[in-house]
Homo-oligomer: A and B are copies of this chain.
Amino acid sequence: MIAKDEISAEYQIIQEEICRGLEDLDGAAKFEEEIWERDGGGGRTRVIQNGQIFEKGGVNFSAVYGKLPGAVKKAFKVDTDEFFATGVSIVIHPNHPFVPIIHMNIRYFEMNEEIKWFGGGIDVTPHYIFEEDARFFHSRIKEICNRFSPSFYPEFKTWADNYFFIRHRNETRGIGGIFYDRLTPPKAGISWNEIFEFSKAVGRSFIPVYSELVNRNRNKEFTENEKQWQYQRRSRYAEFNLVYDAGTKFGLETNGRIESILMSLPPQANWVYNYQPLPDSEEEKTLGLLKKGIDWVE
């Protein structure tokens, strides 16, 4: 078994590595840090704003404990209501409409010796979907999963398709990636140590994968119309996070720190009434690819 403190210590190192990597990538903006405490633990929120590449991004570490609200406790069917949760959570909104939004989360949750698990994932929300980028992203994530179990990628990719789904619009949030929760041994025959290694590998996939997606697209020219489309797509991102996202709900219900929870929301989002993309436009093509079940890797 792994001590909670070891997990949260490792997550803090990963947060640090990712912030350095993102600052290098941006080349101008620096993260600002806020250390916060609550009645039971606390966290380290790091926010980058108005950079060359990153308009708004947060890399949040937290390790909190306390009592679960009644409704959540009931769902778990346990006697105790004490919980411990630690994780790193990232959302980055780039300036450039051709650079995708990215989200990554690794987390560990524990109530007692029986009830504990890892969760997390990484997924990409392009304003414009470039199929070669989507294939690159999914291939890299699949490789990482395969180092642990061949069952991980297909299972967690489907989970992401189903999770990052904006039901009321019948569209996925983006091109997905992987999502997993309540991961414990003997899942796929692996041990607690291997699951912890998997969690760290997902965390450490972030910088190389996102750097490639940024560098492929950061110098492309774009129009004002494409910028407007970006604002539209961001509003869908806000809808997902406020209506469906379990992490956001958990944060709001457990009296979390609002600005850390809602740092995922876009710096600017536009809701144009009943916007319809032109036939055969890139915007229409993107909408056509916001579907579950697309197999991006052969």
Contact = CB atoms under 8 A, between A and B. Distances in A.
Interface string A175-202: 0000000000000000000000000000
Interface in A208-238: 231, 235, 238
Interface stretch (A3-11, A71-79, A104-112, A259-267): A259-267
A239 interface: yes
A274 B259 contact: yes
A273 B49 contact: yes
B258 A262 contact: no
Interface residues of A, number: 30
B273 A266 contact: no
Copies of this chain present: 2
A243 B266 CA distance: 16
Nearest to A168: B252
A56 B270 CA distance: 11
A46 B214 CA distance: 41
Interface string A251-280: 010000011011101111111111000000
Contacts of A272: 49, 267
Given A49-B273, A235-B265, 16 more contacts: A34-B274, A56-B273, A58-B273, A168-B261, A169-B258, A231-B268, A238-B238, A238-B242, A238-B269, A238-B271, A239-B262, A243-B243, A262-B271, A267-B272, A268-B268, A269-B271
Q: Which 3 A-B pairs have the closest CB atoms?
A: A242-B242, A265-B271, A259-B274
